[in-house]
DNA sequence: GTGAAAGCGCTAACAT
DNA sequence: ATGTTAGCGCTTTCAC
């Protein structure tokens, strides 16, 4: 309950200097003599003084805050449970902090429709990072048109008036599929929903890999991007038609693991009877048994790129979309 | 790039009223005539106007922001990858928003040592939610003493001068262990680190359940709370001493899954040879094969309690610590 | 039911 | 190298 009422002015008086000197000292302005600076900084520390962020934000017209909006597919307000999405947020948090910014975690619920108004005009943040293109492309578009500094995690190949950072999904799909073919699979399944931008690219890569493999067959199995859906459809396929495939490229690790569960329950051997490759390289990929081969996305690099491109916009530049490399991680499932 | 310069004053002028009227209208102050209010609110919407949060925070001495600090065990600044921790944050986010507050996501890196100074005096947030008791108990303690509105996710039985919300870990450990015994296990392993407050309670529950089971044997296996550590130790045990146990209570699902992998690799049947129960009920518990029995924590309820108790503090009350019920979820692994 | 005016705490242009 | 001062945009007391 101590000294909550310390202000810059009172601190300055204590130090016997003006508020401007105190302000400059605390902001490490080189104009101030080293000795004065140290004295004032020590005084501030002794009194547990911190500059009032609200006041300096008002004065500077700058918040030093970056808002992160998680763009859920589902309209319902649920908590997130895809570990990958959360990994992305966590890496963004680190990258944001590294640049001296703070992270306001948001979602469509709080921000409403007018992102520019709410975040930028409302001086809640200097810029936005949107995770997932989702259903709200109009909201993003609109904010961008209004001049919101804005970057998106998604499919970098999508045409847009804002920079998108994401993995080379096409290459990821192609690499995964070629790997399945090399391992001897010839009747392949794609598990996912190509209507989703990133997954569409993965599917294109899947098809591209198959073009040169004339003996191979492929089937697109459209499902929700959940392990439950994958479990359900594989179960159903096995029940109704038996084992008509010998390789699966799943659009995410969660989907792959769901499929794997169905196979194991029906005593289909992975990888002998069916090879599986996932996408994301979540922690569970390594712990599942058999462990899951997958395409790893480099979320750390991507997060740093997102932040960097946002800061470039704040500096008046116009950065472009950018792809991040993927890596095939081979484990037991293939 | 449009109308970034709309202020309350300019809006008021447009509407032909004073700034006070405009302010009251936008804040739904009942003093204002319905008609005036609607006119001004419509005007604001048309001009994409939002009140400048920095200015009103300065004026009101209130931010409407709650900071969430993730208290990692490890000192190194890594990204989080326990899905459970992230589930908690996600649920807190929802609960915070529900109360009309925003969420500032933070970590020890940004906040430094002086949490009260940084967040409260610095007017970055009105209160703190700390996730995990971790190593920084002094920081928490200190902030609390300085009068920081503060709640902690952790072990509610820990003595403290701030409210702690968390699961009934003792009951969880006891329930899990009784379940293992009922299922016929008599040589039990506890996998975890009881020095950690929450896990210590789970271990106490483990021991309590064994007290009435005179025929049963128990062993404490201290390990890092990671699936890798669990995998490693179980592997080592099997290699060195063979199968000397028939039941495992793992302190988290990730740990349980790591142990399960080691067992499966060595063809130990789960649940026939060894029964396993985890803790947390992460998504993977349901997808693993065999699926994992576990103690589910009610993160949604806990998150709402955390926020509620924080708001109570803001209102001058002194809420107490509180336990949240747990549920045994039986699946194939037992 | 509405308006005038003060002031929240800070920063920076301008002065010295 | 440091001080004086205006003003960022809002809310609310006090007056009518």
pLDDT per position in chain B (334 positions), as tens? 444 578 999 999 999 999 999 999 999 998 899 889 999 999 999 999 999 999 999 999 999 999 999 876 654 444 566 788 888 998 999 999 999 999 999 977 777 889 999 999 999 999 999 998 776 788 899 999 999 999 999 999 999 999 999 999 999 999 999 999 999 999 999 999 999 999 999 999 999 999 999 889 999 999 999 999 999 999 999 999 999 999 999 999 999 999 999 999 999 999 999 999 999 999 999 999 999 999 999 999 999 999 999 999 999 999 999 999 999 999 999 9
Residue B138 makes CB contacts below 8 A (sequence gap 6+) with none
The domain B169-297 having CATH identifier 3.40.50.2300: the answer here is yes
Domain ranges for chain A: 3-59, 65-165+299-324, 169-297
pLDDT attached to residue B4: 54
Half-sphere exposure of B11 (CA within 13 A, CB side): 30
Q: Please answer whether residues A117 and B48 qualify as being in contact, where contact means their C-beta atoms are separated by less than 8 angstroms.
A: yes
Please state whether strand C lies within 7 Å of residue B61 at its CB atom: yes
Q: ∠ CA(B290), CA(B294), CA(B295), 5° rounding?
A: 170
The CATH architecture one would assign to domain A3-59 is Orthogonal Bundle (1.10)
List phi, psi (to 5°) of B220: -90, 120
Which residue of A lies nearest to B105 if distances are taken between CA atoms?
Answer: A103
B185 CA, C15 C1': Å apart = 85
Min Cα separation B87/chain A (Å): 7
DSSP one-letter string for A83-128: HHHHHHHHHHHHHHHHTT-EEEEEEHHHH-S-HIIIIIITTS-SEE
* Contact yes or no for B121 and A6 at CB 8 A: yes
Please tell me whether any atom of strand D lies within 7 Å of the Cβ of A13.
no
- pLDDT greater than 90 at residue A161: yes
Please give the interface size between A and B, counted as residue pairs whose CB atoms are below 8 Å apart: 181
Name residue, tokens 């004339």: A214
Determine the pLDDT at residue A110: 78
Residues in chain B with CB shorter than 8 Å from the CB of A104 are: 65, 102-105
| Residues of chain A contacting residue B51, judged by C-beta atoms under 8 Å apart | 122
B31 touches strand C (CB under 7 A): yes
Query: CA of B104 to nearest chain A CA: how many angstroms apart?
Result: 5
The DSSP symbol for A320 reads P
Which helix (H) or strand (E) element contains residue B139?
A: helix B137-145
Q: What integer pLDDT is reported at residue A66 of this predicted model?
A: 98
Give Cα separations from A229 to A70, B83, B289 (angstroms).
Answer: 22, 20, 16
Protein residue minimizing CA–C1' distance to D11: B59
Q: Taking CB atoms and an 8 Å limit, are A2 and B146 in contact across chains?
A: yes
Q: Which residue of A has its CA nearest to B143?
A: A1
Least Cα separation, residue A119 to chain B (angstroms): 9
Among candidates A251, A234, A287, which has minimal Cα distance to A82?
A251
CB atoms within 10 A of CB B142: 16
List all residues 6 or more positions away from B108 whose beta carbon is below 8 Å from its beta carbon.
B69, B71, B72, B136, B139
Please give the Cα distance from B1 to A314 (Å, whole number): 13
Task: Tell me whether domains B3-59 and B65-165+299-324 share a fold.
Answer: no
The DSSP H or E segment spanning B314 is helix B299-314
DSSP summary character for residue B313: H
Q: Which nucleotides of D are covered by protein (CB under 7 A)?
A: 1-13
Which residues in chain A have their CB less than 8 angstroms from residue B260's CB?
A: 289
How far, in Å, CA of A88 to CA of A303, rounded?
7
Bases along strand C below 7 A from a protein CB: 1-13
Contacts of B315 (CB under 8 A, 6+ apart): none
CA distance B283 to chain A (A): 7
Per-residue burial over B12-51, b if 16 or more Cβ lie within 10 Å, else e, is: bebbebeeebbbbbbeeeeebeeebbeebeebbeebbbbb
Please list, in sequence order, all residues whose beta carbon lies within 8 angstroms of the beta carbon of residue B238, skipping any fewer than 6 positions away. Answer: B262, B263, B266, B268
Q: What is the pLDDT of residues A113-157, one digit of tens each?
A: 899 999 999 999 999 999 987 767 888 999 999 999 999 999 999
The C-alpha of B57 sits at a distance from chain A's nearest C-alpha, in angstroms, of 6
- pLDDT for the residue numbered B115: 93
The gap from C-alpha B319 to its chain's centroid, in whole angstroms, comes to 18
Q: Do B93 and A87 touch (CB under 8 A)?
A: no
Q: Among B68, B77, B102, which would you mutate to test the A interface (most chain A Cβ atoms within 10 Å of its Cβ)? A: B102
E strand or H helix at A65, and its extent?
A: strand A65-70
The DSSP letter of residue B118 is: I
Q: Give the E-state strand segments of chain B in sequence order.
A: 65-70, 102-107, 127-131, 150-153, 164-167, 187-192, 217-222, 247-250, 275-280, 293-297, 322-324, 326-329
SS3 A54: helix
CATH fold label, B65-165+299-324: Rossmann fold (3.40.50)
The average pLDDT across A214-233 equals 94
Residue A107's pLDDT is 79
pTM of the predicted model as reported, rounded to 2 decimal places = 0.91
- Whether B287 sits inside 8 A of A261 (CB atoms) is yes
Cβ-Cβ contacts under 8 Å, B124 against chain A: 53, 102
Contacts A94 to B, Cβ<8 Å:
77, 79
Which residues of A are less than 8 Å from B287 in CB distance? Answer: 227, 231, 254, 257-258, 261
Q: Verify if strand C has an atom below 7 Å from the CB of B53.
A: no
Burial A236-261 (b: 16+ CB within 10 A, else e): ebbeeeeeebbbbbbbbbbbbbbbbb
Torsion of CA B205, B209, B210, B214, to 10 degrees: 160
Contact B294, B259 (CB under 8 A): no
Mean pLDDT of A71-91: 71
Strand C at less than 7 A from CB of A282: no
**How far is B115 from A12, CA to CA, in rounded Å?**
23
Contact by Cβ (8 Å): B237, B209 = no
């Amino acid at each position: 309950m101590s000294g909550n009422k310390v202000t810059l002015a009172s601190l300055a008086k204590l130090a016997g200097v003006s508020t401007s000197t105190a302000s400059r000292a605390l902001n490490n302005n080189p104009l101030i003599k080293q000795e004065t600076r140290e004295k004032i900084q020590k005084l501030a520390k002794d009194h547990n003084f911190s500059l009032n962020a609200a006041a300096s934000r008002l004065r500077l017209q700058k918040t030093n805050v970056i808002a992160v909006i998680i763009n859920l597919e589902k309209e319902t307000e649920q908590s997130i449970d895809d570990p990958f999405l959360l990994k992305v947020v966590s890496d963004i948090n680190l990258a944001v902090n590294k640049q001296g910014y703070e992270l306001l975690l948001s979602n469509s619920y709080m921000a409403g429709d007018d992102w520019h108004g709410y975040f930028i005009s409302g001086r809640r943040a200097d810029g936005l990072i949107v995770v997932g293109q989702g259903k709200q492309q109009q909201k993003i578009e609109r904010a961008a048109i209004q001049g919101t500094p804005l970057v998106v995690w998604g499919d970098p190949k999508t045409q847009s008036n804002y920079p998108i950072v994401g993995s080379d999904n096409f290459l990821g799909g192609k690499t995964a599929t070629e790997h399945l073919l090399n391992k001897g699979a010839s009747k392949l399944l794609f598990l996912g929903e190509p209507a989703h931008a990133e997954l569409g690219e993965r599917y294109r890569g899947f098809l591209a890999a198959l073009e040169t493999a004339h003996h191979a067959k492929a089937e697109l199995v459209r499902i929700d991007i959940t392990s439950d859906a994958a479990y359900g459809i594989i179960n159903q396929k096995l029940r109704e038609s038996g084992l008509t495939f010998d390789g699966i490229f799943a659009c995410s690790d969660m989907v792959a693991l769901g499929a794997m569960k169905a196979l194991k329950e029906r005593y289909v051997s992975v990888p002998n009877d069916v090879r599986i490759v996932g996408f994301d390289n979540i922690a569970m990929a390594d712990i599942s048994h058999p462990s899951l081969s997958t395409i790893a996305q480099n979320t750390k690099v991507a997060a740093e790129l997102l932040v960097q491109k946002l800061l470039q916009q704040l500096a008046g530049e116009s950065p472009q979309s950018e792809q991040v490399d993927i890596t095939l991680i081979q484990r037991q499932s293939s």
